[in-house]
Amino acid sequence: MRAFAYERPTRLADALALLAEPDSRPLAGGTDLIIRIRDGSVRPTTVVDLKRIGEFERGIRIEDGWLTIGARTVMTDLLRDDRIRSDYVALAEAAAVVGSVQIRNRATLAGNVCNASPAADTVPALLVYGARVLAVGPGGRRTIPIDDVFVRSGVTTLAPGELVAAVELPLPAGRRGAVHMRRTRRRGHDLASVTLACVIGTDGVTRLSYGSLGPRPLLAVDQTGVLADPRASDAAKAERLAELFAEASPSATSMRASPDYRLAMLRVLGMRAIATAAQRLAP
């Protein structure tokens, strides 16, 4: 691995100052960054470790009607949190399939967001739950709706030097059924060729989000109630799903799966997800 300098600020202001330098890179869990430094696709002069910054929490707490997940919170923390497990099932299920145990012990949710991988497993869940991101940077603090964060693979709307301090989820307004599903090349940990989250509320609205089918994960919302309607036919649901998935545009050059297989699997997982979510919603 190429040499770089390492800084471990304890104050956010110091971190932001360090990251204002060109070619400095923030380090959280490192499960993506270290790989990319080693393969040469990222060549930082300075790596700024965010894990000792007081303002960045490792933990999950409720504040002002939001469930706030601190920047240092790792996937394993999500899996162990009772609120995530009971109220944000799709996120818990997504976090459970990020890498292996060893990876989940290091990989942060904030890092999964910042990487902006089209295949990021937790992102569709964050999209269906209407999460927002608390960003801090030289220009101060702001919240960004999660759907406004992603541009394309590896590119977000975060400003240079801006960091994610927390990912926040709205508290559940009522009962809902949710699920995360994915397609991979094997059962053991793998990168998804389709990753999808679905949540159905008691109001009949179905929120679906899918990744790995284009440059960024997409959110599709069914307000018609067809997808949540137990009396609607499979054909009607499939037709509605096809409309909702119209923007899917899988890469033609990926070696993980062909575009037509991904699209077909998106429809299959879509049907399965709404069935499972509806089942989980049922009293």
Partner 1 sequence: MSDVVGVGVARVGGLDRVTGRQAYVADIPLDDVLHVKLVTLPVARARIGPIDSRAACDVPGVRLVMTSSDLPQPMPRFGPQRRDRPVIATGETKYHGDPVAAVAAETRDAAEEGARLVAVDYEELPALHTLSGALAADAPLVQDPALRAKDPHGSTNVLHEHRHSWGDMNAAARVADVVVEGRYRFPMVTQFAIEPHAFMAAPDGDGIAIWSAIQHPNWLQRVIAELLGLPLAKVRIHAPDPGGAFGGKQHAKYEPLLAFMARATGRPVRLVLSLEETFQAVRRGAAEVHIRAGFARDGRLLFRDLEANYLIGAYADIADRTVAKGSYTSMGPYRCPSARIVARSVLSHTVPSTAFRGFGNPQQIWAVESNMNEAARTLGIDPLELRLRNLAGPGETFIPGDTPADGDWAVTVRRAAELIGWSTPAPAGRGRGIAVGLKSGPTTGLSYATVRLLVDGSVVVYAGTSDMGQGARTIFAQIAADELGAPLDWVTVVSGDTSVVPYDQQTSASRSSVFMGSAVLGACRDIHVRLRSMAARLEGVDESEVMIGGGEVRIADRALSIRDVLARGLGRLGGEIIGVGEMRKDAEPDHPLGGTAAFYEFNCTAVEVDVDRETGDISIPRYVTVSDVGRALNPLQVRGQDEGAAVMGLGHTLMEQYIWDDHGRIRNLGAIDYRIPTSMDLPHSMVSDVVEHADGPGPHGAKGMSEGALLPVAPAVAAAVTDATGAVIRELPLTPERVWRALQR
Partner 2 sequence: MTSHIELSVNGRVRAIDIQPHHTLLDVLRDDLGLTGTKECCLVGECGACTVIVDGTSVDSCLVLGVEADGAAVTTVEGLAVGDRLDPLQQAFLDTGAAQCGFCIPGQLLAARALLDDVPHPTRAEIEEGLAGNLCRCAGYEQIMEAVALAADRGRDSDADRRPGTRGQLAIDVASTPDAEVAPQ
Q: Which residues bind partner 1 (CB under 8 A)?
A: 1-3, 183, 185-191, 255-258, 261, 264-265, 268
Long-range contacts of 73-79 (CB under 8 A, 24+ apart): 73/108, 73/109, 73/110, 74/29, 74/104, 74/105, 74/106, 74/107, 74/108, 74/109, 75/99, 75/103, 75/104, 75/105, 75/107, 75/108, 75/109, 75/112, 75/122, 76/101, 76/104, 76/105, 78/109, 79/104
> Could you say which of partner 1, partner 2, none residue 99 binds, taking C-beta under 5 to 8 angstroms by partner kind?
partner 2
Q: Looking at residues 101 to 130 of the shown chain, list those that interact with partner 2 (rule: CB under 8 A).
A: 101-103, 105-106
Residue 280 contacts partner 2 per CB under 8 A? no
Site string for partner 2, 151-190 (x = CB under 8 A): -------------------------------------xx-
Q: What does the longest C-alpha to C-alpha distance in the chain come to?
A: 62
**Least distance in angstroms from the C-beta of 103 to partner 1:** 12
Q: Which of 13, 35, 62, 246 binds partner 2 (CB under 8 A)?
A: 35
Q: How far is the CB of 188 from partner 1 (least distance, A)?
A: 3
Among 49, 57, 147, 229, binds partner 2 (CB under 8 A): 49
Residue 49, Cβ density class (10 Å: 0-12 exposed, 13-18 middle, ≥19 buried): middle
Tell whether residue 59 is a contact of partner 2 (CB under 8 A). Answer: no
